[in-house]
Chain A
Amino acid sequence: MSAISLRQIEGRSMGYYMLLAAFGLFVLFGLGSALYMEHNGHIVTGMNNQVVWGMPHVFAVFLIVAASGALNVASIGSVFGKSMYKPLAPLSGLLAIALLGGGLTVLMLDLGRPDRVIVAMTYYNFKSVFAWNVFLYTGFFTIVAAYIWTMMERRMNAFTKPLGVAAFIWRLLLTTGTGSIFGFLVARQAYDSALLAPMFIIMSFAYGLAIYLLVLMVAFNETGRPLGDKVLLRLKKLLAVFISASLYFVAVFHMTNLYFAKKHGIESFILMNGGIYTQLFWIGQILLGGIVPLAILFHPALGKSRTWIAVSSVLVILGGLAQMYVTIIGGQAFPLELFPGMHESSSFFDGVIHGYKPSLPEIMLGIGGIAIAGVITTFAIKILNFLPASLEDKVMDAHHGAKQ
């Protein structure tokens, strides 16, 4: 088995600097928005005392979930011993770190008191899922960084497998933690389900792989490196499996809720009469984020086209953002039921659907998180050997051998 060499990109082209500058610009927009929100208070956002988590959380949770999913390609290589995936692993680790970094930055900058982030690092309430997550995030950075190091440093290669296993277990814990932020909210009808943790894990597989595929295709295309069908078609099949599994979980989640009379209210809100949330669910999450990419990926002709594979990946990402919007904001827009069987009204918007209109600063902060992940990735592939020099079919055959 011949090793596939990893090489940094040259990164001196106009295109490279343009990309870096574009990401940098959006990072600046994001930071500016955060400063504006911090200075004026959340009054300048669309968030209010009914919908307290808004657009920043949609982006942040998406990025954090996608981060753990992006690591999957590496896990398939080192944990499940599929040698074809091994040259793909360093980029997978890099994307995991970059996406998590972007997501956490957004989450932190949206705090009411971002200046007190040190308090979050020094005062812990160990019963809080959030506090667990602080450890899960920092642990993830450390383990994945060490994992990448064992892959890149030849003397450390022997440790790749154990660290890969550790990283795989850790990423499962991390997404369980993210899903449980919502799953443990017993009072809210939209959440309060143990199913949210595994559902977030399976969704992370799809979101992370879609991002991985896009980055891989763009990077190889722009640097003129050969990317064979063997790798690409394998990854797109995997993406199709993950999309199907996500749809299955969403179906089971809603079927369970539909069976419980006490959840009929929230279900009819999300599935039938929730306006923007219903539209985002059916058109965004299910149709564009699930059924259309599945149809493309399984289509005998379109499924082999690189353009269409890229389109599918973009659709999965947009569907993921729609899913987060429905889950996070739709879940809060539906009023809490304090007195079941009673009609409630008050000056504090009891018993009515809560309004939320995302404002520009919070959207820019969210996009800033994506841009941070972009800057980290673009910069890292220039200074370190993250990308394989070639993923041509014949190179892969030589590397991969008869082992399928």
Chain B
Amino acid sequence: MSDVNQSRREFLGKTAAATAGLAIAPGVMLIDMAHGRAPEDAASSSVRWGMLVDSNQCKPGCNDCVTGCNKENGLSGGTSETDSQWIRKVELKDLRSGITASLPMMCQHCAEPPCVDVCPTGASFKRADGIVLVDKHICIGCRYCVMACPYKARSFVHEELTDQNPDVPRGKGVVESCTMCVHRIDKGQNTACADACSAAGHNAIIFGDLNDPNSEIAKRVATYATKQVRADLGLNPGVRYQGI
């Protein structure tokens, strides 16, 4: 066989593979997208979105989840008394043993959310898949939910905002908090904090469906001892902690 033929065959083979790849790619993409939710479908109660935070993997001083959240949701990152903070790193020290721990704290997306109970207009609401949100159109800015939240997870917008992310509308005079990156989840993606934590190589935040026995989060919750913050309140939060 001549060299010409040889190279022609190689060329044809590569072209065929590339063509096949191009033909299959959209299908693969579709399969990937199928994990997300079509816009016309309602959120399903068969899903319970949640996050598992492994405090053993969370590094004190690392703030990547906070930075990732701020970037994704268009928050300024300011930490004055009036700035919004959807997620924060909390450093803990046991008063007796002196043992320390570091963990991110955000809206715990309770199954029985006190913020939803107290909201006079129903602006605070829980989606069927367990995500607790604020409807910015009917929030009157009374801040009763901020008073009611046991996790100090909510912020009130004290001034005019600029440079918003179109996917995450916010507004002066209304209350806001972690949305569990609902705009990403609905597209089948991870939360920004979990992605940032993975990128930093810590993998301390796992996002997933607590109701799906095959999901990593459900398996971990079934295998290891996890904790709910203020479990005494019986709120059944969607965010669980390991290692505290």
Instruction: Report B-chain residues with C-beta under 8 Å of the C-beta of A343.
Output: 92-95
Known: A113-B173, A124-B122. A48 touches B147 (CB 8 A): no
Contact count band on A: 35 or more
Number of A-B contacts (CB under 8 A): 170
Interface segment, one of A168-176, A184-192, A384-392: A184-192
Say yes or no: is A404 at the interface (Cβ < 8 Å to chain B).
no
A338 engages B141 (CB within 8 Å): no
Interface segment, one of B9-17, B156-164, B184-192, B197-205: B156-164
Complex-state Cα separation, A96 to B84, whole angstroms: 39
Known: A42-B82, A112-B141, A113-B174. A336 touches B150 (CB 8 A): yes
B79 engages A347 (CB within 8 Å): yes
Say yes or no: is B229 at the interface (Cβ < 8 Å to chain A).
yes
Complex-state Cα separation, A345 to B103, whole angstroms: 11
> Using a CB–CB distance below 8 Å, which chain A residues touch chain B?
38, 40-43, 47-50, 52-53, 111-114, 116-117, 119-120, 123-125, 127-131, 134, 181, 184-188, 332, 336, 338-339, 341-350, 354-355
For residue A397, give the distance in angstroms from its CB to the closest CB of chain B. 50
A350 engages B90 (CB within 8 Å): yes
Complex-state Cα separation, A42 to B80, whole angstroms: 14
| Interface SS of A by simple majority | loop
For residue A132, give the distance in angstroms from its CB to the closest CB of chain B. 9
Nearest B residue to A133 via CB reads: B120
For residue A5, give the distance in angstroms from its CB to the closest CB of chain B. 44
Q: Please provide the chain B residues from 79 to 134 with a CB less than 8 Å away from any CB of chain A in the complex.
A: 79-85, 88-96, 101, 105, 114, 116-123
Known: A112-B172, A128-B117, A134-B120. A355 touches B81 (CB 8 A): yes
A338 engages B150 (CB within 8 Å): yes
Say yes or no: is B22 at the interface (Cβ < 8 Å to chain A).
no
Say yes or no: is B175 at the interface (Cβ < 8 Å to chain A).
yes
Known: A113-B173, A343-B92. A338 touches B118 (CB 8 A): no
Instruction: Report B-chain residues with C-beta under 8 Å of the C-beta of A38.
Output: 173
Residue of A41, A43, A131, A134 ringed by the most chain B CB atoms within 10 A = A41
Say yes or no: is B233 at the interface (Cβ < 8 Å to chain A).
yes
B120 engages A128 (CB within 8 Å): yes
Known: A120-B120, A338-B150, A346-B90. A49 touches B229 (CB 8 A): no
